[in-house]
Amino acid sequence: MQIGILGTGRMGVRLAAMFADRGHAVVLGSRDLSRAERIASGLRRANIKAGSYEHATNAPIVLPAMFIRDGLFDQLDPLRPALRGKLLIDITNPFNDDYSDFILPWDTSGAEQIQARLPETRVVGAFKNVWWEVFDAPRFGDTLSDVFVVGDDAGAKQIFLELTQGTPFRYIDAGSLKNARTIERMTLLSGEMGQRYGFFPRMNYKLLGDQWRPGSADAIGSLIART
């Protein structure tokens, strides 16, 4: 599969490497092409190419890896025609500058705001609770941590699950895009707790429950595993 990533920060670089290691073709996009070229060459994976945001948006799957507070909505606006019909993987948490709170009110989420601005794009929310250092060493002992996947388009979720097959997380269908309100705020909570207890930022959630095993249907019904 082909994926374009917008932004060469903590998440963009790690997600580019993760998807490239699963054999996907990645365009790592930056506002600054020379920065993208330097970072892509440092990642030493032939299937990661550098590009602009426009170039990265040519891919059928697009993942913006930047903050809403830094102008994500404005960056996406001119890309709207190119994003029509595509899968957009939304990883945003609408943090303020000092990470003490969110800049969006309780009755919405980054995922819903993006979907509202791009009504013809298929938005799937994921990776919101996975703090960046987890990607460097994803296993917690023998345990894989969870990625809660939200979206209103079942077909788009299925493409997402195919894309992420074999990556070191357990993917759980967490329902509609509206559930991003809760999932994004879980990141606010984990950030505060991780700093209080000294394990920030190597942390993520794991939904417990001994009735369920990877790959089997269970009482939760829509739980989906990829290990």
Ligand X SMILES: NC(=O)c1ccc[n+]([C@@H]2O[C@H](COP(=O)([O-])OP(=O)(O)OC[C@H]3O[C@@H](n4cnc5c(N)ncnc54)[C@H](OP(=O)(O)O)[C@@H]3O)[C@@H](O)[C@H]2O)c1
Q: Name the residues that contact ligand X, by CB under 6 A.
A: 7-12, 30-32, 35, 65-67, 70-71, 91-93, 95, 127-128, 130-132, 201
The whole-angstrom separation of Cα 40 and Cα 28 is 7
Q: Identify which of residues 25 and 188 has a Cβ nearer to ligand X in the complex.
A: 188
Instruction: Write the single-letter amino acid at 106.
Output: W
Single out the residue of 190, 191, 182 nearest to residue 107, CA to CA: 182
Quote the least distance from Cβ 121 to ligand X, whole Å: 17
Q: Is 86 exposed, middle or buried (0-12, 13-18, 19+ CB in 10 A)?
A: buried
Smallest distance from ligand X to CB 176, Å: 19
Nearest distance from C-beta of residue 43 to ligand X, angstroms? 13
Nearer to ligand X by Cβ, of 168 and 201: the residue is: 201
Instruction: Please give the residue whose beta carbon sits closest to ligand X in the complex.
Output: 9
Distance, in Å, from the CA atom of 98 to the CA atom of 209, rounded to the nearest integer, reads: 35
- Give dist(CA 35, CA 48) in Å, integer: 14
- Nearest-approach distance from CB 219 to ligand X, in angstroms: 29
Q: Toward ligand X, which CB reaches closer, 54 or 218? A: 54
